[in-house]
Amino acid sequence: MNPSIQLFKSESFLQNNLKLFVNRCSENFDLPFHAHDFVEYSYVAEGKGFHHIGKDIVPVHKGMLFVIPVGVPHVFRPATSNTSEHPLILYNCLFNSELILILSIIIQEPEIGDHLTHLVQNQIPYVSITDAGQCIEELMVKLYRESSVPGIGSSTMLYTLVSQLVVTTYRQLHQKIHDEQGPPTDFEHILHYLDQHISERIRLNDLVRFSGWSEKHLGRMFLRHTGQTFGSYLQHLRIQKSCELLKHSQQKVSLIAEYVGYRDVDSFHAVFKRITGETPRIYRKKSRA
């Protein structure tokens, strides 16, 4: 494993007989880029930020769930260093192969059991879905409360809740795959347009002409599908693209800034540091350490 990636081991977290750990935490810039020998379900309960996972940088917001397989390096970062006013709050549910053996008694469907096994064996990429109807949030809250204040039958209740979490996530993932295989929605065309024209000066009026929708309707669509305003989404998209270029190219920072749509390098530096917590040069240096 890359020496810059810290390994978190089961024995540090799964110290009870249940082989299960659930917590609610506020993310910061102290936790290192890390991998672990257990499966992790992470749900964004409040705030915005970034999930650095594998080679990806994913903007995150409330309602997003990630399933991180064994061995996949990752770390969450808040959108701003002012975490007291703008915290990024997550629920985490951790378990390893020992618990999966127990869950196999409850979960009868072979395809879901295989899915869990593949997560443990690092045979599939990470999962990212947006919670439909707050079902996953409700399960995470119940898991956290039951594990924090155990009562009569807590072991059975926790195993049942974890099984529901696994099955509900698998259902939503299956639905997401099914939807993505169908024709793209009109809004997906807009996101594709932004992705392809990232180096240009893009205003909401441009999307009005492109889509035929009103500014008001576009604003509602951005909030519904991305959890962000148009301006916020575009800024985060530009910074995400610049992070990829800083990691994988030798181009000067000024050229990268221009490529992602910034004509003023100082503005690019200010937005980059506000969103990632680091300057472009420090980010490049750390990503290649």
For 210-226, write each residue's pLDDT tens digit.
888 888 889 888 988 88
pLDDT tier, 81 (very low <50, low <70, confident <90, very high otherwise): confident
71: left (phi over 0), alpha (psi -120 to 50) or beta: left
7 has pLDDT over 50:
yes
- pLDDT, tens only, 123-170: 999 999 999 788 999 999 999 999 999 999 999 999 999 999 999 999
Q: What per-residue confidence (pLDDT) applies to 38?
A: 97
What is the length of the chain? 289
The band of 182, judged by pLDDT with boundaries at 50, 70 and 90, is: very low
For 213: left if phi > 0, alpha if psi spans -120 to 50, otherwise beta; the answer is: beta
Whether the pLDDT of residue 25 is over 90: the answer is yes
Taking each helix axis from N to C end, the angle separating 186-196 and 215-226, rounded to the nearest 10 degrees, works out to 90
Residue from 150, 12, 26, 158 nearest 91 by CA: 26
pLDDT for residue 189 is more than 60? yes
Query: b/e map of 264-275 (b: 16 or more CB within 10 Å)?
Result: ebeebbebbbeb
* Residue 3: pLDDT over 60: no
In percent, the amount of the chain with pLDDT more than 70 equals 96
Q: List strand residue ranges (DSSP E) for the chain, in order.
A: 6-8, 20-26, 34-36, 39-46, 48-53, 56-61, 64-68, 74-78, 89-95, 127-130
pLDDT of residue 188: 85
Rounded mean pLDDT, 277-284: 92
Over the chain, what is the mean pLDDT?
91
